[in-house]
Chains A and B, each alone.
Chain A
Amino acid sequence: MTFNPLMRAAAVAIVALTGATAQAADITGAGATFPFPIYSKWADAYKTATGNGLNYQSIGSGAGIKQIQAKTVTFGATDMPLKADALKKDGLVQWPMVMGGIVPVVNLEGVKPGELTLDGETLADIYLGKITKWDDAAIKKLNAKLTLPSAAITVVRRSDGSGTTFNFTDYLSKVSKDWADKVGSDAAVEWPVGVGAKGNDGVAGNVAQTKNSIGYVEYAYAKQNKLTFADMVNKAGKHVEPTVAAFQAAAANADWANAPGYYQILTNQPGEASWPITAATFILMYGEPSDKAASMEAIKFFDWAFAKGDKMAEELDYIPMPASVATLIRKTWADSIKNK
């Protein structure tokens, strides 16, 4: 029985390993790529402040929903909110965590961030493949001052299902009947044209790499990758730049208190200063978690993020949830998540 000591060593090692992981139990979450920059920033600060880590995998909203349904993570994150009946069916609790803007980004020689202006219909026509050249009359009309090349537009969009796509196509459906009829809005749609890239970072990388291209990303990705974002014309017909103030103006319209499961879509909001493609990103957790301690730890993190994370969110051009909404959400936690 020469292997006995070996087996004993292996057993000891296994115990030691599992013991170690149990001790350093990170909060685990997975989902949307849209809020990944701010979640990782919060996670860093939270680790410094409390010693507890957060392991967030930005695998996409749809995958986040699937992971939480499979109970492999403590929380799921999605930009595509679940409706109240879907939440009820799975016993999930949902709340908005942070808001942000989705911006069109372009790669055009000689065009700097904010110099190009687009409106909803033009953007929809580009993504429908109806506008194929940068010097198309519709784009020229909005940009009288720019000299645009007579080059073919390379459309970049997501290849994976995505909450960013959901909000983007939701906006296009609201502003273009053609888009609503032919494509519609969903996390993954049947794209008429374009090349597909994986994740917000994939789209950002593709646009940075491809001349005469256009894509759409969460504003933080545009900023971090120093991409040329475009201004938009909003529902009120006003020209707006993607700024925190413009995102906030759109977000101010949301009526969180009366939305079951906090289901709110913030695209194409009224108001002269509103950025048209604004979105909230949501967290999903079980109302009756099987691992109460982990659920507790996660809630502690979110509570801390609402209390201390606003400034960090603003630094990355996200819009923190208003204090009144945070209070509502804290009440939801107390009422609906049984982790005591």
Chain B
Amino acid sequence: MTDMILQEGAVEAPTNAWRAKALASFKLGDSVFRLLAQIAAATVLLLLGGIIISLIIGAWPAISTYGFDFLTTQRWAPNARPNPVLGGLGPIYGTLISSVIALLIAVPVGLGISIFLTELCPQWLRRPVGVAVELLAGIPSIIYGMWGFFVLGPMLADSIEPAIVDAVENIPVLNVIFAGPASNLSLFNASLVLAIMILPFVTAIARDVFNTVPPVLKEAAYGLGCTTWEVVRRVVIPYTRVGVIGGVMLALGRALGETMAVTFVIGNSFRITGSIFGPGTTISAAIASEFAESRDLHQSALILLGLLLFVLTFFVLAAARLMLMRLERKQGV
């Protein structure tokens, strides 16, 4: 017996040591993995911080020269003597107006598509329409720009815009917003192109949040004798309101920063005319067309524009996150 015990002990001892060793190596592997993951996470923060810092450093000469006047000055004269006069109002105005018009068009259409897809669409049609919307999201932005330039621009300037200009000629306010002369390249053209580009975002997110509505709620509403319109209006939209707004904000974030397509079709003019049929510019279009040739204060002002866009987009995205988080919490309850 003693022999046996001794033997058992002899067998057990190395096993324990081996197990401890194995555990230790697991522990080592785990902590290495943990460290790598931490480094990866830190990289993102470092990059973000680095970008902000370098933007601020680059923009500093312009900030210290123009201060808050930069936000309210329309004049953009890099060659003015003795000192360049640079104001960001034109591009900021163009960015906001084109994005807002794009949203005004894309949100109703996008919601319409997603309501159709989730509530009304026959099963066999769901996939083709869904895929078509997703394909829209996959088209490179330069293609939209070319289409806006070669097809949409002439169409708007030759027939659609002159008709609108004539129609509202004697109506106050509208005859300023829709004033001629119609231009191939205009804020309106850019807004339409942007609307098409953000449509898939609005649609995809709205469809996903509409799908989160518990069927029992909808069935109950139908059971009470509600029409489809009433179900959508009174049940689906209120239930998903926050999520839909979050999706719209994400789309807005994309519209604010879109560069290539907009540079193609907006006309790159820093003057604010008040008419959406006239040329304008956006922050990203201004940077794209002027950065290569800029220097000194001019370049610094462009970087400042970039910083402003960064801040603007950050707030829009933060607001979207916040709303989506509130939706998730609501669902959790």
* Min C-beta distance of B140 to chain A, whole Å: 18
Extra pairs beyond A195-B183, A205-B149 (8, CB < 8 Å):
A62-B295, A151-B181, A188-B79, A190-B77, A195-B268, A206-B184, A206-B185, A211-B158
List A residues at the B interface (Cβ < 8 Å). 59-63, 66, 132, 151-152, 154, 159-162, 184, 186-191, 193-198, 205-206, 209-211
Q: Name the one of A63, A191, A206, A210 contacting B293, with C-beta atoms under 8 angstroms.
A: A63
Task: Return the 10 tightest CB-CB contacts between A and B, nearest first.
Answer: A161-B293, A196-B268, A152-B181, A195-B267, A62-B293, A190-B77, A186-B79, A159-B268, A159-B289, A63-B292
Given known contacts A196-B289, A198-B289, A211-B158, A190 and B267 CB-to-CB distance under 8 angstroms: no
Q: Name the A residues within 8 Å of B77 (CB-CB).
A: 189-190
B61 in the interface (beta carbon within 8 A):
no
Is the CB–CB distance between A209 and B267 below 8 Å?
no
Q: Which residue of B lies closest to A60 (CB)?
A: B293
Q: Name the B residues within 8 Å of A63 (CB-CB).
A: 292-293
Is the CB–CB distance between B292 and A195 below 8 Å?
no
Q: Which of chain B's residues 257-292 have a Cβ closer than 8 Å to chain A?
A: 263, 267-271, 279, 281, 289-290, 292
Q: Name the A residues within 8 Å of B268 (CB-CB).
A: 159, 195-197
Q: Which residue of A lies closest to B292 (CB)?
A: A63
Count residues of B near A (Cβ-Cβ below 8 Å).
Answer: 32
* Min C-beta distance of B93 to chain A, whole Å: 16
Sample (6) of A-B pairs whose CB atoms are under 8 Å apart = A59-B292, A184-B79, A191-B269, A193-B271, A194-B269, A196-B281
Which of B150, B185, B263: most chain A CB closer than 10 A? Answer: B185
Q: Name the A residues within 8 Å of B79 (CB-CB).
A: 184, 186-190
* Min C-beta distance of B324 to chain A, whole Å: 38
Is the CB–CB distance between B80 and A160 below 8 Å?
no
B130 in the interface (beta carbon within 8 A):
no
Is the CB–CB distance between B292 and A160 below 8 Å?
yes
Main secondary structure of the interface of A (DSSP, over half): loop
Bound-state Cα–Cα, A186 to B78, Å: 9
Which of A60, A184, A193, A195: most chain B CB closer than 10 A? Answer: A195
Is the CB–CB distance between A154 and B293 below 8 Å?
no
Q: Which residue of A lies closest to B263 (CB)?
A: A198
Q: Name the A residues within 8 Å of B150 (CB-CB).
A: 209
Bound-state Cα–Cα, A38 to B180, Å: 40
Is the CB–CB distance between A154 and B269 below 8 Å?
no
* Min C-beta distance of B15 to chain A, whole Å: 30
Given known contacts A184-B81, A189-B79, A210-B184, A160 and B269 CB-to-CB distance under 8 angstroms: no
Bound-state Cα–Cα, A198 to B281, Å: 13
Is the CB–CB distance between B289 and A160 below 8 Å?
yes
Q: Which residue of B lies closest to A63 (CB)?
A: B292
Q: Name the A residues within 8 Å of B270 (CB-CB).
A: 190
Q: Name the one of B157, B183, B185, B293 contacting A188, with C-beta atoms under 8 angstroms.
A: B293
Q: Name the A residues within 8 Å of B295 (CB-CB).
A: 62, 66
Is the CB–CB distance between B181 and A188 below 8 Å?
no
Which of B150, B153, B269, B293: most chain A CB closer than 10 A? Answer: B293
Is the CB–CB distance between A162 and B293 below 8 Å?
yes
Q: Name the A residues within 8 Å of B78 (CB-CB).
A: 186, 188, 190
Q: Name the A residues within 8 Å of B25 (CB-CB).
A: none
Q: Name the B residues within 8 Å of A205 (CB-CB).
A: 149
Q: Which of chain B's residues 140-159 have a Cβ closer than 8 Å to chain A?
A: 149-150, 153-154, 157-158
B75 in the interface (beta carbon within 8 A):
yes
Q: Name the one of B81, B271, B290 contacting A159, with C-beta atoms under 8 angstroms.
A: B290
Bound-state Cα–Cα, A191 to B185, Å: 16
Q: Name the one of A60, A132, A191, A193 contacting B292, with C-beta atoms under 8 angstroms.
A: A60
Q: Which residue of B lies closest to A184 (CB)?
A: B79
